[in-house]
Amino acid sequence: MESNAHIRVQNLNVFYGKDHALKDISVEIPNKKITAIIGSSGCGKSTLLKSFNRLLDPVDNIRITGKVLVDGEDIYDPKAEVTHIRRKMGLLSQKPYPLPMSIYDNIAYGPRVHEERNKKKLDRIVEHFLKTASLWDEVKDKLNSPAFKLSVGQQQRLCLARGLAVGPEIILGDEPTSALDPISSQNIERSFLELKERYTIVIVTHILRQAKRLADYVLFLYMGRLIEHGPAKEIFENPKEAMTREYIQGIIS
């Protein structure tokens, strides 16, 4: 039976030089849910996340085998066109990186890159997605001021709006709250919970409580291996693997 999951990973292996960073990973990411990738640092969480939109490409000496299917298309096929794949996913990195331009231009950057020139349409896009990321009220009077002048928490919401503005179906978050204060983290988490109605969300987190608060589905990685995956309730309450249980109880970290 052909599954309709946006992201399907089949026998994925990633090597950094001789270092075997991801080992034979096969998993399907459920649609319109929040999936959390958990595991200790250096276990390959971020690598797995970045493999979904080919952000590993610029890394030196990298070798990737296996498949990542996004909407049924093998994105590592040499014929695959990378920009339209990346467009399907918004990315939040650990620290927000606003582009060196105004708040307005940050949101409009993506649509403009994809040939949207109509000023009225851009205005509407900017307003709509700033509202979606609940940033509009704070910035509507200073859309032309530099994005880096916002607080870090606001910057992260700006990055969320910027990612959504290219019309993705998927949101990827690489420890998206790790640089934020508790209030800002809460804002981002709240946005995620609202957005999962419409988007498939995958976040990497090393904060177990955050995974418990947000996740519907959990992937547990250890040393590059996918040890266990399943609905959050099962993983947190009744893990099948001893290693998962130890991680969740804080015995290994």
Partner 1 sequence: MHKHAIEEIIYKALMIASCLIVTGVLFLILGTIVFKGLPYLNWSMITQAPQSGYYLGHEGGILNSILGSLYLTGGATVLAFMMSLPVTLYLNVYAKKNSRLVYLVRFAFDVMWGIPSIVYGAFGFMLMLFFGIKASLLAGIITVAFLILPIMTRSMDEVVRMIPQPLLEASYALGATRLQTALKVVVRQALPGISTAVLISFGRGIGDAASLIFTAGFTDSLPTSLFQPVATLPLAIFLQFSSPIVQVQGRAYAAALILTIIILVISIVARFLTKQFTRNIVR
Residues engaged in binding partner 1 (CB under 8 A): 53, 55, 58, 60, 83-84, 86-87, 89-91, 93-95, 97-102, 105, 109-110, 113-114, 146-148, 159, 162-163, 166
Q: How far is the CB of 104 from partner 1 (least distance, A)?
A: 11
Contact 43, 253 (CB under 8 A): no
How near is the Cβ of 248 to partner 1 at its closest, in Å?
Answer: 30
Which C-beta is closer to partner 1: that of 96 or that of 224? 96
Nearer to partner 1, 21 or 248 (CB): 21
DSSP string, 81-120: -HHHHHTTEEEE-SS----SSBHHHHHHHHHHHTT---HH
Cβ pair 92, 177 in contact under 8 A: no
How far CA 184 is from CA of 21, 54, 161, 188, 195, in Å, comes to: 32, 28, 15, 6, 16
Minimum CB distance to partner 1 smaller for 94 or for 134: 94
Read off the tokens for 58: 């610029």
Q: How far is the CB of 250 from partner 1 (least distance, A)?
A: 30
Sorted by sequence, the CB contacts under 8 Å of residue 100 that are 6+ apart come out as 148
Nearer to partner 1, 136 or 148 (CB): 148
Nearer to partner 1, 109 or 136 (CB): 109
Smaller CB separation from partner 1, 90 or 224: 90
Least Å from the CB of residue 6 to partner 1: 16
Smallest distance, Å, CB 174 to partner 1?
A: 9
Tokens of 99: 């582009």
* Widest pairwise Cα distance in the chain: 57
N-terminal to C-terminal alpha carbon distance within the chain: 37
Contact 43, 98 (CB under 8 A): no
CA distance 172 to 134: 18
Spatial separation of the C-alpha atoms in residues 210 and 186, rounded to whole Å: 10
Min separation Cβ 166 and partner 1, Å: 5
CB 61 → partner 1: shortest distance, Å? 8
Which CB sits closer to partner 1, 105 or 228? Answer: 105
